[in-house]
């Protein structure tokens, strides 16, 4: 059945339409990640992150999503840094939105290429956009690439989550926050040895929805229910009253020793981990779209 035939069938039978054009490809997400990592270290304000933006925009153009920017100048311990959140919207018809986010900057640190931390979220979002192209949908699907997640120096005193804090403010002012049914943030989800934090800062019912989807799909082993509190790009949205959940694997290597080190490289990642998170996020979006 072609997509148009499927749509006609669905209209006739008034069935729930599938929110995606095709299944999520872990291989493609990994390939996008590899392209991003080839740019080398990609801290906010660097020529490398600007080059990555060009690549992201070229790919997003092919998906047909509506691209917009949230531009701002962040005040950091290293001075003023220009930052840009990239927003890719696939419109639905309900007036509500489901938002999937992740960061595309990497920590400013010599030799740090962030294959998992910064790379995997970028590759994941690129593939999610590609797999969403042209599919009829109920709610707006909004895919956001955050700039400035990483601390320029230390994760304290506002030196972190520059992009998500700015977008939460922008969306508070323009009324977008009120349209959001749920926000799912992904971070460090490419690790071969995938096991996520059961983040206690996330919204309980949304976290439960995602974990239940994972368990029903047979992925429960990667989604243990061991509580731990995580600070990440979902926090500004939680604080703004948006239901949000963070999907992050914070055990990257023995005792998390690959995290924020030059060991965060492509050989630590697997297409299978991307595929698991992709399937769970897509099914979670379908569940959310079925809700009023
Ligand atoms: Zn990081």
pLDDT at 93: 93
- pLDDT surpasses 50 at 2: no
How many angstroms is it from 11 CA to the middle of ligand 1?
44
- The answer as to whether 3 is a domain residue is no
How many angstroms is it from 149 CA to the middle of ligand 1?
7
pLDDT at 157: 84
Residues 154-176, mean pLDDT to the nearest whole number: 96
197-239 confidence digits (pLDDT tens): 999 999 999 999 999 999 999 999 999 999 999 999 999 999 9
- pLDDT surpasses 50 at 1: no
100-113 confidence digits (pLDDT tens): 999 999 999 999 99
How many angstroms is it from 150 CA to the middle of ligand 1?
6
pLDDT at 4: 47
How many angstroms is it from 33 CA to the middle of ligand 1?
15
How many angstroms is it from 155 CA to the middle of ligand 1?
10
Q: What number of CA atoms fall less than 13 Å from residue 130's CA on the CB side?
A: 20
How many angstroms is it from 263 CA to the middle of ligand 1?
13
Residues 56-60, mean pLDDT to the nearest whole number: 98
Domain count, the chain: 1
- The answer as to whether 235 is a domain residue is yes
- pLDDT surpasses 60 at 181: yes
- pLDDT surpasses 70 at 92: yes
pLDDT at 130: 97
Distance CA 68, CA 86 (A): 6
How many angstroms is it from 106 CA to the middle of ligand 1?
7
- pLDDT surpasses 80 at 168: yes
Q: What is the CATH number of the domain that holds 39?
A: 3.40.630.10
Distance CA 53, CA 59 (A): 10
How many angstroms is it from 274 CA to the middle of ligand 1?
18
- The answer as to whether 9 is a domain residue is no
How many angstroms is it from 259 CA to the middle of ligand 1?
7
Alpha helices in the chain (DSSP H): 3-13, 26-37, 47-63, 121-132, 162-174, 204-216, 235-239, 271-290
Domain that holds residue 230: 16-290
- The answer as to whether 133 is a domain residue is yes
How many angstroms is it from 10 CA to the middle of ligand 1?
43
* Parallel/antiparallel/unpaired status of strands 79-90 and 140-146: antiparallel
- The answer as to whether 258 is a domain residue is yes
- pLDDT surpasses 90 at 245: yes
pLDDT at 214: 98
- The answer as to whether 65 is a domain residue is yes
pLDDT at 3: 47
How many angstroms is it from 268 CA to the middle of ligand 1?
15
- Percent of the chain residues past pLDDT 90, beyond the cut: 92
How many angstroms is it from 118 CA to the middle of ligand 1?
7
Residues 127-143, mean pLDDT to the nearest whole number: 95
How many angstroms is it from 15 CA to the middle of ligand 1?
42
Residues 6-29, mean pLDDT to the nearest whole number: 68
- The answer as to whether 199 is a domain residue is yes
- The answer as to whether 32 is a domain residue is yes
Range scoring the smallest mean pLDDT among 14-23, 142-151, 168-177, 209-218: 14-23
pLDDT at 18: 64
Reported confidence tier of residue 5, pLDDT bands at 50, 70, 90? very low
CB atoms within 10 A of CB 289: 20
Distance of CA 208 to the CA centre of its chain: 18
How many angstroms is it from 99 CA to the middle of ligand 1?
21
- pLDDT surpasses 50 at 14: no
- pLDDT surpasses 80 at 99: yes
């Amino acid at each position: 059945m072609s997509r148009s035939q499927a749509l006609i069938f669905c209209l006739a039978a008034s069935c729930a339409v599938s929110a995606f054009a095709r299944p999520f490809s872990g291989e493609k997400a990994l390939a996008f990640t590899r392209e991003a990592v080839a740019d080398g270290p990609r801290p906010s304000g660097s020529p490398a992150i600007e080059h990555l933006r060009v690549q992201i925009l070229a790919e997003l153009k092919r998906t047909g999503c509506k691209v917009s920017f949230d531009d701002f100048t962040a005040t950091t311990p290293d001075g003023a840094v220009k930052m840009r959140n990239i927003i890719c919207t696939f419109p639905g018809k309900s007036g509500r939105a489901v938002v999937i986010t992740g960061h595309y900057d990497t920590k400013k640190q010599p030799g740090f290429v962030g294959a998992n931390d910064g790379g995997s979220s970028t590759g994941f979002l690129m593939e999610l956009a590609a797999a969403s192209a042209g599919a009829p949908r109920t709610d707006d699907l909004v895919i956001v690439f955050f700039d400035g997640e990483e601390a320029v120096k230390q994760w304290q005193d506002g030196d972190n989550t520059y992009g998500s804090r700015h977008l939460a403010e922008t969306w508070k002012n323009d009324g977008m926050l009120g349209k959001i049914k749920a926000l799912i943030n992904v971070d460090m989800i490419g690790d071969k040895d995938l096991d996520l934090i059961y983040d206690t800062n996330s919204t309980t019912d949304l976290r439960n929805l995602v974990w239940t989807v994972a368990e029903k799909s047979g992925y429960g082993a990667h989604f243990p229910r061991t509580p731990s509190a995580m600070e990440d790009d979902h926090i500004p949205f939680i604080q703004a009253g948006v239901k949000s959940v963070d999907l992050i694997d914070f055990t990257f290597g023995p005792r998390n020793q690959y995290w924020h080190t030059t060991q965060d490289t492509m050989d630590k990642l697997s297409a299978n981990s991307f595929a698991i998170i992709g399937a769970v996020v897509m099914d979670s979006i379908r569940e959310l779209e079925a809700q009023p």
